[in-house]
Structure 1
Amino acid sequence: MRIAIAGFQHETNTFVSTPTSLTDFEQADSWPPLLVGEDVLETTRGMNLPIAGFAAAATKHDLRPILWCAAEPGGKVMTSAFENIAGRITHAIKELTPLDAVFLDLHGAMVTENSDDGEGELLSRIRQIVGPNVPLVASLDMHANISKKMVDSSDALTIYRTYPHLDMAETGARAFRMIEAIRRDGRPEKVWRQGEYLIPLHAQQTGAGPARALYEGLDEFDGPGTQLAEIALGFTAADIHDTGPSLVVYGPDRTKAEAICDTLSDRLSSAEPEFDCPLLSPVEAVRRAKQAPDGYPIVIADVQDNPGAGASSDTTGLLRELIEQNAPPTLLGLLHDPSLANAAHQAGHGATFDATIGGHGPGDEPVQAKVLVHHLSGGQCAYTGEMYGGGVATLGPSAALRLIGSQIHIVVTSGRNQCLDLAQFRHFGLEPKQNKILCVKSTAHFRADFEPIAQDVLLCAAPGQFPCSLKDVNYRNLRPDVRTHLEG
């Protein structure tokens, strides 16, 4: 088969005012910079990415890579950026026609300045080019907010089933399996249904609880042929009509697909009370961490300041409480503060200086403290954990600082980057296992690498730009029949 492949990923936090530009897609961050042509295959080979998993499954076929890009989650994608990237993809597909299939590595929660449904817009444009008979399949993130336009424009959507997302490459391979089945058996019937309630992101982790049961239950519906069932749990920092969970079921028989969707819908509905996952205040989280027995570290997740969900990654609520309670040996990261990182590099290794730390956003204030420069780095940090292992985090000029008069070390970066890998501390000469408390600006991705060395994980609701306590969120654009939180 002659298959065009491309990737265009963004998770949009509509509560963040700073837009996402073309430059954000062009530069490296957690993932590679914008890739074009054969570089798409060469650079992503072996990585835990859908496009890499698709390519590995389709090695016997004629793959035509167009481009692949992803920007760190943030505000709405600028119209100019969307039109530039979408235009390059659609132009290349026109040039490559005739094609036997098209695969797209998408996120599913892209909001642009002009559209609440970036993926639906892109898929519909491609459908108009290739016509109704060419299989068009896309992979989506588990946090996708799926629209009718996305379902109608595609032949199948495959969705991550783990959070942390350890199965991104598997999801791409599943997309190739669906293309093969569609080419052999014809286009499947589709059933799409949206859930009745929102699920906060910190409750979506699949290591335990209701999400684990929901996703483990999908295995019984994988095949034969075009039969497939997928679940997206939604991205709650997007205030749009389609925010929330969705079910998509495919298969040759409409009646059976409806029955499978009914089963999954009942399971999702029944799980609602189990998704109630309370958060601790910074005061309580630090107090509990201090009282824990010595041994393995306690992880405190600063879930509402997660740059992987569009937050600034520089809030100081948790840091202030660590200082107030005179925390035992503690690591905190990654704090995004380019000016502070630059000041550390100017001061030099081993120097001390009066620092203004974080707190640049509205409603927050910097922490003033004297610090010691423990370690300096240019910011190229190789991941070692399961999720991104083999990749490189581009942090920009960065530093590890110790607050004088305390046992607190902070990793400060010039680029926003979610703290999800132990290497992001070890790169700076800091050993997580030797500390009592590990504070990570992450919502759940940290679990894959940090849980194996932790005696407990505490979820903390310090103020931040990624709201996790949904009852406090001022939504304006949700569909009227979706619940934001459990009543009572």
Structure 2
Amino acid sequence: MAHRPVIAIAGLACETSTFTPSRTLAPAFQPERGVEIITRYPFIQRGTSLGDAAEWRGALTGHALPGGIVTRDAFESLSAEIVTRLTEIVASTKLDGFWFDIHGAMCVEGLDDVEYELLRRCRKVIGPDVLVSASMDLHGNVSRELVHQTDLITCYRTAPHIDVSETKERACRNLLQLLQRRAGGEKIVRPLKAWIPVPILLPGEQTSTRDEPATRIYAAVPEVEASEGVLDAAIWVGYAWADEPRNRAAVVVTGWDEEAVARGAERLARLFWDSRKEFRFVAPTGSFQECLDAALASAKHPYFISDSGDNPTAGGSGDVTWGLTQLLARPEFRLESGPKVIYASVPGPEAVGKAVAAGVGTTVTVTAGAEVDAIHAGPITMTGRVHAIKHGDRHAEVEVVLQVGSVFAVLTKLRKPYHYESDFTELGLAPRSAAIVIVKIGYLEPELYAMAADWMLGLTPGGVDQDLQRLGHKRIQRPMWPFDRECNEADLTAKLIPTSNDPLS
């Protein structure tokens, strides 16, 4: 029977804003260990081509909801456990491969380029000969050092991300292909890697692959990948709401032919750079007041508004009350007979507890929000009728809907993103029949996008403010588009990165 290679799995993922006062603790990663990791990913389970072709060993993976900087204690405790578990795997068997399951935009107190740092620690255990394949979010950041420590590195090709599982499976399939080449006795096993940092840093809401120019830029990725001598091609937009030297767009092409990978990487980088002036927001934008005015004047319902500055899926703290405060101040919504509005959401553990104790149908006065981020607005006090209560949500734990006039405000024990129709219907809300639905989000996720009769992107304040100039980056490399609009030239020459066996000069 042919040898089945042994592949370990580990990684930590958290998209973190350095512009929010919130901090991410270890429990937020909801770590999974051992067989739990295999169970998470159907494509590596027994009975599948990948599952039967290798022996998969889970160490530890953790995927936290985006938020503020990860505390040093949280990172050290989780990374120490990863190292310990990898040590146990290496002691029990010969390890052939390593799948590094990450996001790529995690920031940790006192550390830069933490995905590289975590992989460096893993490499000390697994050694330089083990082949490493990393899968990432296209909003991750790719430093030269991270590319050096990996043998394969790839990322999503859609935003919103509808190819998450496909990308992770591709990373594993490419890794298995390398291992099979090694088992077949081929001399050249590790592919060449062409890396190009692109001096562009834009928010995801200007780079959605639904719209041009990102549609055609990402359409070129599989074309490059299909070239003779190329194994994989990837473009990272980068993460705009953190302030580290590595934050920028990047291209990596891997393969066996030096000319082909360099040419492919330069083609993608040039296409991205030459398109930089075409990037626009994914929807009409305006201040929160302008968005409300447009929604009220529109005959299209439901009309969605993104309260984007505090988007918890981009790293916002989630408890900024600015939007809800502005909404409840509008006279149009003070009576129950006014236009029906759904607002999701503001965390307020004490408010939720009080509403739960009072029960559905009761009228309560509660105060919520601004426990973490009070920079833009303080806590909000509301009097309303408890419309619904739900227990057991994975993120929120407890959710309450408070009706204030014609506004149905969702309050949560812990912050939660609202991406699916069921997020609302399970709270007794009917978003399709609402006049206006306001969500703390950037671009609308697929279900909401399909549901919206029309929508606007509110340029609201918060830790993931779409106005990057307003945030005040100080550590990113300059010049950088669009911070430096006079920047018309960029070095887009492919940099061939040596394997982890060779030193990085």
| TM-score between both structures, scaled by the size of structure 1 | 0.89
SS in 2 for 1:309: coil
- Give the equivalent residue in structure 1 for 2:446: 448
Name the residue aligned to 1:207.
210
Q: Structure 1 190/76 Cα, relative in aligned 2: closer, same or farther at 3 Å?
A: same
Task: State whether residues 347 and 412 of structure 2, in contact with CA within 8 Å, keep that contact through their aligned partners in structure 1.
Answer: yes
The CA distance in 2 between the partners of 1:54 and 1:416, in whole Å, is 36
SS in 2 for 1:40: helix
- Quick one: which amino acid aligns to residue 211 of structure 1? A
1:282 lines up with 2:281 in the alignment: no
Q: Structure 1 residue 299 and structure 2 residue 304: aligned?
A: yes
Deviations 1:290-328 (A, max 9, x none): 11114x311101111111122122223332343315152
Q: Is 1:165 matched up with 2:169?
A: no
Give the C-alpha shift of residue 253 in structure 1.
1.3
Once residues 198 and 163 of structure 1 are traced to their aligned partners in structure 2, the CA distance between those partners, rounded to angstroms, is: 16
The amino acid that maps onto 1:483 is W
- Equivalent position of 1:386 in the other structure: none
Q: How many Å apart are 1:366 and its aligned residue? A: 3.2
Name the CA distance, whole Å, in 2 between partners of 1:133 and 1:431.
Answer: 55
User: What's the offset of the Cα at 1:145?
Assistant: 1.2
1:52–1:172 contact (8 Å) kept in structure 2: no
Hey, which bits of structure 1, 4+ residues long, moved more than 6 A?
51-55
Which is further off, 222-231 or 435-444?
A: 222-231
Structure 2: unaligned runs, 5 residues or longer: 182-187, 334-338, 487-505
Counterpart in 2 of 1:309?
A: 314
- Alpha-carbon deviations, 1:158-193, whole Å to 9, x = none? 101111211111111110121123221611111111
Tell me how far 1:24 sits from its aligned partner: 2.2
Deviation at 1:284, TM superposition (A): 0.7
Q: Deviations over 1:80-105 (max 9, x none)?
A: 22122222222222332321100011
Q: Alignment partner for residue 327 of structure 2, among 322, 330, 335?
A: 322
> Which amino acid is the alignment partner of residue 172 of structure 1?
K
Amino acid paired to 2:153: L
Q: Confirm whether residue 58 of structure 1 aligns to residue 50 of structure 2.
A: yes
Distance in 2 (alpha carbons) for counterparts of 1:471 and 1:76: 20
Closer, same or farther in 2 for the Cα pair 1:198/1:3, shift >3 Å?
same
Deviation at 1:358?
Answer: 2.8
1:177 alignment counterpart: 173
The residue that corresponds to 1:397 in the other structure is 398
RMSD between superposed Cα atoms in Å: 2.1
Matched with 2:262 is 258
Partner of 2:390: 377
Aligned length: 460
Alignment match, 2:251: 247
- Report if aligned partners of 1:282, 1:318 keep a CA contact under 8 Å in 2: yes
Distance in structure 2 (CA, Å) of the matches to 1:148 and 1:45: 29
Distance 1:400 1:55 in 2: 44
Match of 1:420 in 2: 419
Kindly provide the amino acid, as one letter, of the partner of residue 65 in structure 1: G
Aligned partner (choices 269, 272, 283) of residue 268 of structure 1: 272
**Helix, strand or coil at the partner of 1:17:** coil
Whole-angstrom CA distance in 1 between matches of 2:279 and 2:47: 35
Deviation at 1:436? 1.2
In the alignment, what sits opposite 2:494? Answer: none
Match of 1:41 in 2: 38
1:346 aligns with 2:357: yes
Q: Does 1:92 align with 2:88?
A: no
Partner residue of 1:22 out of 26, 31, 35:
26
Partner of 2:497: none
Describe the superposition over 1:8-33 as per-residue Cα deviations: whole angstroms up to 9, x where unpaired.
111121112333222222xxxxxxx3
Residue by residue over 1:405-433, the C-alpha shift from the partner in whole angstroms, topping out at 9 and shown as x without a partner, is: x2110111111111211111111000110
8 Å CA contact retained: 2:388, 2:401: yes
Tell me the CA shift for residue 55 of structure 1.
10
1:128-167 to 2 correspondence within 5 Å? 128-167=124-163
Quickly say closer, same or farther: Cα 1:136–1:226, change in 2 above 3 A.
farther
SS at match of 1:375: strand
For residues 331 and 223 of structure 2, the distance between their equivalents in structure 1, rounded to whole angstroms, comes to 50
Deviation at 1:152, TM superposition (A): 0.4
Partner residue in 2 for 1:103: 99
The answer (yes or no) to whether the contact 2:320–2:376 under 8 Å persists in 1 is: no
**Residue type at the aligned position of 1:186:** V
Q: 1:219 matched to which residue of 2?
A: 222
Computing the radius of gyration from Cα coordinates, the structure with the larger value is 2
User: Contact 2:17/2:241 (CA < 8 Å) preserved in 1?
Assistant: yes
Partner of 2:470: 472
CA spacing shift, 1:362–1:54, aligned 2, 3 Å? farther
Instruction: Render the CA deviation track for 1:240-298: whole Å, top value 9, x for unaligned.
Output: 0011111111111111111111111111012212223273101110111111114x311
Q: 1:450 to 1:54 in 2, by over 3 A?
A: farther
Instruction: Supply the distance in 2 between the matched residues of 1:421 and 1:412 (Cα, whole angstroms).
Output: 17
Instruction: Give 1:399 deviation, angstroms.
Output: 0.4
Q: State the AA in 1 paired with 2:74.
A: A
Q: 1:431 to 1:257 in 2, by over 3 A?
A: same
SS at match of 1:58: helix
Residue 60 of structure 2, aligned match among 48, 56, 67: 67
SS at match of 2:261: helix
Contact 1:127–1:154 at 8 Å: present in 2 too?
A: no
Quote the residue 2:69 is aligned against: 76
Give the SS at the match of 1:416: coil
Secondary structure of the corresponding residue to residue 217 of structure 1: helix
Over 3 Å counting, the alpha-carbon distance change for 1:137 and 1:55 in structure 2 is farther
In structure 2, what residue type is equivalent to 1:193? Answer: I
Give the 3 Å change call, closer, same or farther, for CA 122–357 of structure 1 in structure 2.
closer
- Report the CA distance between 1:53 and its aligned residue: 9.3
Query: What is the CA deviation profile of residues 43-91 of structure 1, one whole-angstrom value per residue up to 9, with x for unaligned ones?
Result: x145xxxx87999662112111112212222222222221222222222
- Change in CA separation of 1:284 and 1:9 when aligned onto 2, cut-off 3 Å: same
Gaps of 5+ in 1: 26-32, 381-392
